[in-house]
Chain A
Amino acid sequence: MSVSTAFDKARAEGRAALVGYLPAGFPDVEGGIEIITAMAEAGCDVIEIGLPYSDPVMDGPTIQAAAQQALDGGVRTRDVLRTVEAVAATGVPTLVMTYWNPVERYGVDRFAADLAAAGGAGLITPDITPDYGQAWSAAADAHGLDKVFLVAPSSTDERIELTTSASRGFVYATAVMGVTGAREATSDLAGPLVERTRRFAPDDLPVAVGLGVSNGDQAAAVASYADGVIVGSAFVRCVLDHPGDRPGAVAAVRALAAELADGVRRG
């Protein structure tokens, strides 16, 4: 199921969509499924499941720590797909966010086929751009999957046009120059980037903003100009702060999702 249904619904309600991220296999595979399911139930409109990778160059310390914990626990690509299947069964559209090599290794077309079969909506690909992502684009088209590429404050207009025309589902605007991680203030680069992206994006392509949001007020601020608010490190933090305490982690994640869901309705 494409994420566009979730964005359409949010738009019909006059608000931004809440997109929540957690890596699979964190703190372990079953625990991850339980926690991510809770995120979906507690107000996330779209779920991003991270595929833990040994060399996550776009991630800050929080998500690195989660991915490392998942890898140390032996998470496999097939566990990620199993997590997708379980979470997608809640009816909340579910994407996989992954660095490229694990997909190439699995086989691009095979990955697309298995992701579609698991009920996944598509991929977010932080280290491939459309000009080097032809293999993925072809496989995604063949299997009817969303292709979420990223734009950044440093993107030229030409590159924003290239990226938005190649994206399906939504386009991911990285609102700060830097790696993932919660930030005190939301970036003043975000508004202008969203505006510039809208100028080039097809009318029906939502623009979601990521990097740094960790509370309801920030979510409300971003929701005032974006179609979606993406939250990752703050959810990861909830789990890291409750080591060995699954109910505590689930409760913290639920509380955060509810606060953020309220935020996107205030924006």
Chain B
Amino acid sequence: MSTHLHETTPFDADPQGWFGGPVEGFGGKFMPEALMRALDELDSGWQEAKADPGFVAEFDAILRDYANLPSPLYHAERLSERLGVRVLLKREDLNHTGAHKIRNVLGQALLTKRMGKTRVIAETGAGQHGVASATAAAYFGLDCTVYMGAVDTRRQALNVARMQLLGAEVVPVESGSATLKDAINEALRDWVASVETTAYLFGTAAGPHPFPTLVRDLTRGIGDEARAQCLEQYGVLPDAIAACVGGGSNAIGLFTAFLEDQDVAIYGFEAGGDGFETGRHAATIKAGDAGVLHGARTYVLQDEDGQTIESHSISAGLDYPGVGPQHAWLAKSGRASYLPVTDTEAMDAMALLSRTEGIIPAIESAHALAGGLRIAEQLRAEKGPEATLLINLSGRGDKDMGTAMEWFGLGESAGSDEGEQ
């Protein structure tokens, strides 16, 4: 599983954290001096840990026995029939706590233990990373504080309750737009004051070096597993792979194993919100400009003066105006393609998968599916029914039932225009 932790690729960051170099590329470490030592220690601590067979074996055992990994690679036969190509789903929705996020937090929390810190903090949007962090903290006996935008604590009350039941303190963040980016700001403010005792479990493959690399290493099991499973079960590599991109952890986790397979087309799907033309979206790579947000140079949704613009998506997990710097570089260098998917397309895909396969996906993952439907058409035209499309189903949709009820008019709200619950 995680035995690939220490492997490198030609697409890795340099020791300063630059993907593609400091001039043309993305990444780096644009952070207050007060945090630089902690970031350097995290970097060297991680280099040591991932080279330590004992650490790797412990991580593998926890993933296997506690998190239910490796996740299956599932041939979605009815969907395949419908689309005319072979569709394989990487079932991260079956992981403990319901998404790929558990891989990242168990790894970072194990590293926290190793580095002798006693408290963890995290930011969360939809609450998935917060729940995963609270879970890992409970598992390892660490104190845990989760910052969550006040708007999101109201939208995702169920996940707030889960975190609290797991023993975490949830702090609603009222500043700025009171969503994910502000939760990150507040977590960073906590960290500046608490860095001696506290590790910041960053929730996605973004932020200052070494987080994009650390989170990539911890989530690359998705692709390492999927690549081996695909070869073993079908004797071929996929023709195309697809994932949704918020900050980019599930996507880079899938992509890494395939980066050097030049015949595998790589697609990332960003949240197109109300539609790219409306300006109400989170399609950072497509619409953003290079800039610095949360410690890295990357693509950022920003105005003429470099102020961050609020993003919009029906999916809280993709509702972020930045993106991990490695994705920015993969886009710029052309190795991967990034395209927006609207709220409507994603919700249609959510319904389609639910009804054809009996799998209710997270709305984030439904963006990957919706994008996959487009690629399938193209693949079928080019390669016929033998074509293989591998989609990362990053999480399950339980957390999204409130949104689904409103959108589709389900449950008690059936028939009501307002969709009140």
Kindly identify, within residues 184 to 230 of chain B, every residue whose CB is under 8 Å from any CB belonging to chain A: 185, 188-189, 192-196
- Decide yes or no: A68 and B292 within 8 Å by CB, A54-B308, A77-B305 being known contacts: no
Kindly identify, within residues 33 to 65 of chain A, every residue whose CB is under 8 Å from any CB belonging to chain B: 53-61, 64
- A71 and B33 form a contact (CB under 8 A): no
List, in ascending order, chain A residues with CB within 8 A of B293's CB.
55, 101
Kindly identify, within residues 69 to 128 of chain A, every residue whose CB is under 8 Å from any CB belonging to chain B: 71, 76-77, 100-106, 126-128
- A57 and B307 form a contact (CB under 8 A): no
- Decide yes or no: A177 and B37 within 8 Å by CB, A56-B185, A131-B16 being known contacts: no
Closest CB pairs A-B (n = 9) = A105-B306, A152-B34, A178-B193, A102-B306, A101-B306, A57-B188, A54-B308, A54-B307, A101-B292
Report Cα–Cα, A153/B32, bound state, in Å. 12
- B306 and A68 form a contact (CB under 8 A): no
A154-B38, A159-B37 given. 6 additional CB < 8 A pairs? A55-B294, A105-B304, A129-B31, A129-B36, A150-B34, A154-B196
- A179 and B189 form a contact (CB under 8 A): yes
List, in ascending order, chain A residues with CB within 8 A of B188's CB.
57
- B28 and A150 form a contact (CB under 8 A): no
B284 to chain A, nearest CB (A): 14
Report Cα–Cα, A134/B21, bound state, in Å. 14
Q: Which residue of B lies closest to A71 (CB)?
A: B307
- A101 and B302 form a contact (CB under 8 A): yes
Report Cα–Cα, A150/B38, bound state, in Å. 16
- A104 and B306 form a contact (CB under 8 A): yes
- Decide yes or no: A57 and B33 within 8 Å by CB, A68-B176, A71-B307, A154-B38 being known contacts: no
List, in ascending order, chain A residues with CB within 8 A of B29's CB.
129, 131-132
B55 within 8 A of partner (CB)? no
- A60 and B189 form a contact (CB under 8 A): yes
Report Cα–Cα, A178/B196, bound state, in Å. 12
List, in ascending order, chain A residues with CB within 8 A of B308's CB.
54-55, 101
List, in ascending order, chain B residues with CB within 8 A of A5's CB.
none
Of B31, B33, B38, B189, chain A has the most CB atoms within 10 Å of the CB of B33
- B292 and A100 form a contact (CB under 8 A): yes
- B32 and A102 form a contact (CB under 8 A): no
List, in ascending order, chain B residues with CB within 8 A of A132's CB.
16, 28-30
- A101 and B176 form a contact (CB under 8 A): no
A109 to chain B, nearest CB (A): 15
A233 within 8 A of partner (CB)? no
Of B29, B175, B305, B308, chain A has the most CB atoms within 10 Å of the CB of B305
Task: Please count how many residues in chain A sit with their CB below 8 Å of the partner chain's CB atoms.
Answer: 42
List, in ascending order, chain A residues with CB within 8 A of B36's CB.
129, 154-155, 159
Report Cα–Cα, A153/B175, bound state, in Å. 27
A37 to chain B, nearest CB (A): 24
- A177 and B302 form a contact (CB under 8 A): no
- A101 and B175 form a contact (CB under 8 A): no
- Decide yes or no: A101 and B300 within 8 Å by CB, A55-B293, A64-B175, A71-B307 being known contacts: yes
Report Cα–Cα, A151/B32, bound state, in Å. 9
Spell out B's residues near A (CB within 8 Å): 16, 22, 28-38, 175-176, 181-182, 185, 188-189, 192-196, 289, 291-295, 300, 302, 304-308
Q: Which residue of B lies closest to A133 (CB)?
A: B30
Q: Which residue of A lies closest to B18 (CB)?
A: A132
A2 within 8 A of partner (CB)? no
Q: Which residue of A lies closest to B38 (CB)?
A: A154
Report Cα–Cα, A179/B34, bound state, in Å. 10
- B195 and A177 form a contact (CB under 8 A): yes
Q: Which residue of B lies closest to A52 (CB)?
A: B307
26 contacts between A and B (CB under 8 A): A53-B306, A54-B176, A54-B308, A55-B185, A55-B293, A56-B185, A57-B32, A68-B175, A68-B176, A71-B307, A101-B293, A101-B308, A102-B307, A105-B302, A105-B306, A127-B30, A129-B33, A131-B16, A154-B195, A155-B33, A155-B37, A159-B36, A174-B32, A174-B34, A177-B194, A178-B193
- B292 and A104 form a contact (CB under 8 A): yes
Report Cα–Cα, A179/B185, bound state, in Å. 11
Q: Which residue of A lies closest to B322 (CB)?
A: A55
Report Cα–Cα, A119/B125, bound state, in Å. 43
Q: Which residue of A lies closest to B308 (CB)?
A: A54
List, in ascending order, chain B residues with CB within 8 A of A149's CB.
33
List, in ascending order, chain B residues with CB within 8 A of A150's CB.
32-34
A163 within 8 A of partner (CB)? yes
- A174 and B33 form a contact (CB under 8 A): yes
List, in ascending order, chain B residues with CB within 8 A of A101's CB.
291-293, 300, 302, 306, 308
Q: Which residue of B lies closest to A60 (CB)?
A: B189
B54 to chain A, nearest CB (A): 28
Report Cα–Cα, A149/B33, bound state, in Å. 9
- A57 and B292 form a contact (CB under 8 A): no
A187 to chain B, nearest CB (A): 12
Q: Which residue of A lies closest to B181 (CB)?
A: A55
List, in ascending order, chain A residues with CB within 8 A of B192's CB.
57-58, 177-179
Report Cα–Cα, A7/B110, bound state, in Å. 49
- Decide yes or no: A57 and B300 within 8 Å by CB, A106-B305, A129-B33 being known contacts: no
Kindly identify, within residues 151 to 204 of chain A, every residue whose CB is under 8 Å from any CB belonging to chain B: 151-156, 159, 163, 174, 177-179
List, in ascending order, chain A residues with CB within 8 A of B22's CB.
134
Report Cα–Cα, A127/B188, bound state, in Å. 12
Q: Which residue of A lies closest to B297 (CB)?
A: A104
Of B16, B176, B193, B306, chain A has the most CB atoms within 10 Å of the CB of B306
List, in ascending order, chain A residues with CB within 8 A of B38's CB.
154
B298 to chain A, nearest CB (A): 11
- Decide yes or no: A58 and B32 within 8 Å by CB, A64-B175, A104-B291, A179-B192 being known contacts: yes
List, in ascending order, chain A residues with CB within 8 A of B35's CB.
154
